[in-house]
Structure 1
Amino acid sequence: CENAGLLTRALEHNDDPATIKRIIVQTDKLPEEWLINYFGQLTVELSLESLDAMLISNIRQNLQAVIRIAQNEDPDVHFKYIEAATTMGQLNEVERICRESNYVPAEKTKNFLKEANLTEQLPLIIICDRFNFIHDLVLYLYKKQQFKSIEVYVQRVNPAR
């Protein structure tokens, strides 16, 4: 498929990470919407590696595609982006997506952030505040003895609640 120029077919029928990364960097030959949907099917690790390969290969050509993948309205893509940013230690980016995304799957993200045991709890606080998981948030922070995080929520994030 790849040799015949059928890159989408080659990606659909391949699960070898090296092959996927070799093909996926050719964003000029892949339909943008198809590419965005394809990323929703990849594992977090492979998504992260593929995005990295795209930027390393040709940042000028692939940056726009990487941004579009990050801005997708598919909740799974938003969730994978949060997972990838968490894995990379990009807590500011996790915080931004938690604050700005209207497509993030709230319950799934809340559970992931709790399991991630982040040193900074602000992304979890933001998700719980936005989607009214306050009781869960306070119980979790109390059990983890994160009293400072409870204080941050009560005094800075949402004093009205």
Structure 2
Amino acid sequence: MRIGLILITAALPTLLCPHAALAGDWKAIIAKDMVVVANGKMTMDRYSLCKVKVPGAKKTSVQLRVYAEASESAGISRDFFVSRGQAAQTGIIMFLGAGYAKGTAVSATGALDCHAITAPIGKVDVEVSAYMTGEGVQLAVMDAATGTTAQDVTMWADLFEEK
């Protein structure tokens, strides 16, 4: 699977959707804290197992990891931190879905059926890392199949600037 890593890193920071469409044990999902605060840092570490629902696809499943980190002293609220971490998760799911659905009658939103998992089963296929500071965010996307990593840095001021 070849992923347009540069496109992913460019699109993720601007996504407005604050949550991913993940199925699973909803009681466990809503009860669990998304953010761990320890040693002066906020971290979020989420895993998803997605079944590929596109006939003829070379892969039948994809495992994802989304990791986000920010210093408590960065001036970033916990709510904003969570929303950007979730935007990264939603963005990668939508981007991968569009890649699998391309050239088929399946829509991008229907191409993957994702469920939250507590830990990876073996190695993840795609890993997104977001490192946030008071100035901006560095996003890195790693494709395990190719060993390729792409990263981009975006200033918060550029994202919120009126045009």
Q: Which has more radius of gyration?
A: 1
Q: Shared fold (TM-score greater than 0.5)?
A: no
Higher relative contact order (CA 8 A, sep 6+): 2
**Structure with more helix by fraction:** 1
Provide TM-score, normalisation by structure 2: 0.24
